[in-house]
Amino acid sequence: MKTSRAVVFDGRDRPFRCETVAIPALRVGEVLVRNEYTTLCRSDLNTFCGKRTERTPTILGHEVVGRVEELGPGAPAADCRGAALRIGDRITWAIYAADPASSLARRGLPQKAPDLFKYGHEPVTASSHLHGGLAEHCLLRRHTPIARLDEAVPLPVAALINCAVATVAGSLRLAGDVRDGVVLVAGAGMLGVIACALSRCARAKRVVAVDIDADRLATARSFGADVTVQIGADRPDLAERLAVELPGEPPSVALDYSGVPETMEALRAALGIGGVLVLVGATFPQRPLSLDAEQIVRRLHTIKGLHNYNQADFVAAVGFIEAEHQKFPFARLVHDRFTLDQADEAFAFGMKSRAHRVGIRTICQPAIASPSSGASSP
């Protein structure tokens, strides 16, 4: 029987534990993947440090890329873009598996379907294992959106697709057509800089990045931001600052990845007539927002929320990275230095560094020699 090594997380303040497990016979619709690379998402780090609670033991890591090692009975013959799926193909997959026939999935909300299964978030049990990126293998459940990848995309960049890039693609979908409009992006972390790049490629007239950190704003510029606005920790009136920076050009879209109430309120106030505000960053409890309902009515504003993404967003993310990965310095966002045996060090580094992402090679081979190797993000 084939076995696989998994790095198991037992909870905050406990070292990772390496476990060798038997790979079970594949069930209907399942695909066995040999994981190649995993990037640590902010939610992985938040689980690691106890900011968020996950059922344990678990295998963290949901930004993963790997190769098909085995196709189970009734496994999909094609990926979610219609390309043939074969053993040896490099793939990535959505963060979720969900029955597409459920009413929520049919409404385009599979990430909230009643049978939702989330990679990198599920507890390890006797019958459910190998469902995270920090292992040699991942067992893909039935109803997992899978995408075969262009081999030209570097592994650390490809790994970003199935959480960061797909979530941003979802927020742009909710924002609607940004062409010729001004897009305001608050929070120039991983999602924010990707949003600048996606907005640029969607032909926004101007992309404005807002953050408290000058280095992050410099990174946003290299991802397509034309204008950057550094705000103080006390969040001065962003609307006034924007009126100076963009006279006569109020934003048609504002995307919030900061999760800061004062910033979200300021974004709404800065929107022009008919503007859309998409909230993505507010994934933790905090004070309610103060919103001027009369202004929302008179200025025809729309406010939407997004958590995770759907299959269309995932497909858009794959297409975007395949087409544009050389246009923007994505590889600089990933600190590419660790292997699966160094999970403790990788998480410790992720907690103390300002790297947008920490990458972990889950297959033993030398790191790709590229300008990005070993370089932390600015």
Binding residues vs Zn ion (CB under 5 A):
41, 43, 163
- Closer CB to Zn ion, 4 or 43, in the complex: 43
Give the angle subtended at the CA of 138 by the CAs of 137 and 143, to the nearest 5°.
Answer: 155
Minimum CB separation of residue 164 from Zn ion in Å reads 7
Query: Which one, 43 or 199, has the nearer CB to Zn ion?
Result: 43
Order of strands across the sheet that contains 206-211: 227-230, 206-211, 182-186, 253-256, 276-279, 302-305
- Dihedral sign, Cα of residue 18, residue 337, residue 132, residue 306: positive
Q: Residue 365 corresponds to which tokens in the numbers above?
A: 């081979």
Smallest gap from residue 147 Cβ to Zn ion (A): 17
Residue type, 316: A
Q: Are the C-beta atoms of 265 and 287 separated by less than 8 Å? A: no
Q: Measured from the CB of residue 191, what is the shortest distance to Zn ion in angstroms?
A: 9
Closest to Zn ion by CB, 38 vs 219, is 38
Backbone angles phi, psi at 376, to 5 degrees: -80, 160
Closer to Zn ion by CB, 111 or 199: give it.
Answer: 111
Q: Which is nearer to Zn ion, 39 or 228 (CB)?
A: 39
Q: How far is the CB of 39 from Zn ion (least distance, A)?
A: 9
Q: Which is nearer to Zn ion, 120 or 251 (CB)?
A: 120
CA distance 163 to 61: 10
CB of 189 to Zn ion, least distance (A): 12
Shortest Å, Cβ 31 to Zn ion: 21
Got the DSSP string for 344-378? HHHHHHHHHS--SEEEEE-S-SPPP-STTTTPPP-
Kindly state the smallest distance separating residue 16's Cβ from Zn ion, in Å.
18
Integer Cα distance of 309 and 173 in angstroms: 10
Closest CA to 9 of 346, 282, 309: 346
Distance CA 299, CA 297 (A): 6
Least distance from Zn ion to the Cβ atom of residue 33, Å: 18
CB closer to Zn ion, 163 vs 183: 163
Quote the CA–CA distance of 153 and 324 in Å, as a whole number.
Answer: 10
CB of 166 to Zn ion, least distance (A): 9
- Residue whose CB is less far from Zn ion, 43 or 144: 43
Which residue, among 194, 252, 254, has the nearest Cα to 229 in the 3D structure? 254
Q: Which of 357, 7, 366 is nearest to 157 (CA)?
A: 357
Interior angle at CA 188, CA 185 and CA 193, nearest 5: 80
By beta-carbon proximity to Zn ion, the closer residue of 41 and 246 is 41
d(CA 201, CA 290): 33
By C-beta, is 206 or 335 nearer to Zn ion? 335
Backbone angles phi, psi at 140, to 5 degrees: -85, 125
| Least distance in angstroms from the C-beta of 73 to Zn ion | 31
289-309: buried (b, 16+ CB within 10 Å) or exposed (e) per residue? eeeeeeebeebebebeebebb
